[in-house]
Amino acid sequence: MAAMNPLLTKVFRGPLDLNGPVIGRLFYLFEYARAYVEERHEAFDARFGTDTSAPVFEHHQKTSVHFYVPTTASVIYEIIGSLPLTPNKFTFIDMGSGKGRALLVASEFPFTKIVGVELSSYLHHVAEENIKRYKPSSQQCAAFELHCMDALDYAYGEEPFVLFLFDPFGREILEKIIANLEATLRARPREAYVVYVYPQYDDLFQNSSVLRRVREASPKWQPWNQYVVYAASAGTATGDQGAADTQLPVTAASKAA
């Protein structure tokens, strides 16, 4: 799947990036309205007493780091639920974790650890408070690690992992994120999945020699809920397709959890 129409991808890249300096603030207003409507429909924060819905465009916002908007909760449930994960084996990592919604949803699955990486100290603090409040009966993992740091400085552990990205970075930073990801998988081959929601720069992942696409979703009229899933395995990193040959179901539209 082309993550977005190629013409639109070219138009909205660079200075016209939806998170960039030209129309970024207008897009922020749209995202604010979208988040308000989705919260009324899904009531994620209302149910759990958390603060994950409202977008945040900070005054010192760098154009290379996109402003915070929440991922649709039902889409996060759908994506994680579709992954063939061995219980209590994988770490969940959200780069650009913002207020922590994806971390909270991930805690309802049997991960060994849940890691949030966020540059903004404000968003990092909000996520910490949200984790304290989030205590659903369905929670299966309460081992959270939140890091207020540059995602480019994050050091992967040796365990299998799921890397979650909701369009957190511009093209240049994402290229470096992928380079770091490929380096760790080559150095220590292991199972891994990469989830990329609203995949503006999916071509960067398509060019990877370590990752292969195993799932995609393109709901009509909801580009913010488009996503692709890539997989790697010990075999993939060493030249043998191995477990990465497993193809997850392809969906044309997101489903409610």
Rounded alpha-carbon distances, angstroms, from residue 2 to 14, 136, 145, 200, 227: 19, 37, 34, 10, 11
Dihedral angle over CA of 124, 128, 134, 139, nearest 10: 90
> In 3-state terms, what secondary structure has residue 213?
strand
pLDDT computed for residue 241 by the predictor: 43
> In 3-state terms, what secondary structure has residue 229?
strand
* Stretch 54-65: mean pLDDT: 67
Boundaries of every domain in the chain = 6-245
What homologous superfamily does CATH list for 6-245? Vaccinia Virus protein VP39 (3.40.50.150)
Let me know if 155 is exposed, middle or buried by CB neighbors in 10 A (0-12, 13-18, 19+).
exposed
Q: Which of 18-32, 105-119, 131-145, 189-203 has the lowest mean pLDDT?
A: 18-32
pLDDT, tens digit (0-9, with 9 covering 90-100), for 93-123: 999 999 999 999 999 999 999 999 999 999 9
Q: Could you tell me the pTM of the whole model?
A: 0.84
Determine contact, residues 51/45, Cβ cutoff 8 Å. yes
Determine contact, residues 231/197, Cβ cutoff 8 Å. no
Q: Structure tokens of 232?
A: 């790697």
Q: What is the CA radius of gyration of the chain?
A: 17
Determine contact, residues 93/164, Cβ cutoff 8 Å. yes
The DSSP string of 158-209 is: SS-EEEEEES-B-HHHHHHHHHHHHHHHHHS---EEEEEES-TTHHHHHT-S
Determine contact, residues 94/227, Cβ cutoff 8 Å. no
